A = this chain, B = another copy of it.
Amino acid sequence: MDKFKDLDPLLHSQLRLAVVSLLLSVESAEFVFIKEKTGATAGNLSVQLDKLNTAGYIIIEKSFKGKKPLTTCKITKKGIDAFEQYVINLKQYINK
């Protein structure tokens, strides 16, 4: 067993992993919803969503809900693939 393959640093972060995990289970999610589900602060979430977006793991769409700004996130194929590989690699660490 060739152990300890590198863990994608973009996913090996508690908050970003939670976001991706969450997005895997829904069609799309709004900023405020993700914030509540993860318990993150808005600032931290904003930064981490940007990173996932820049990496192409999620897409972020900005619109308006009535008159208020609305940020909607959706996982991409690239994000799903990265997550799946991350889980495969991670299991080498946690299943002896």
Contacts and interface: CB of A to CB of B under 8 A. Distances in A.
Number of copies: 2
Interface string A18-47: 100110110000000000011100000000
A3 B18 contact: yes
Interface in A29-86: 37-39
Interface residues of A, number: 20
Interface of A: 3-4, 6-7, 12, 14, 17-18, 21-22, 24-25, 37-39, 87, 90, 93-94, 96
24 contacts: A3-B18, A3-B21, A3-B22, A3-B37, A4-B18, A4-B21, A4-B37, A4-B38, A4-B39, A6-B14, A7-B14, A12-B12, A12-B14, A17-B93, A17-B94, A18-B93, A21-B93, A21-B94, A21-B96, A24-B96, A25-B96, A87-B94, A90-B90, A90-B94
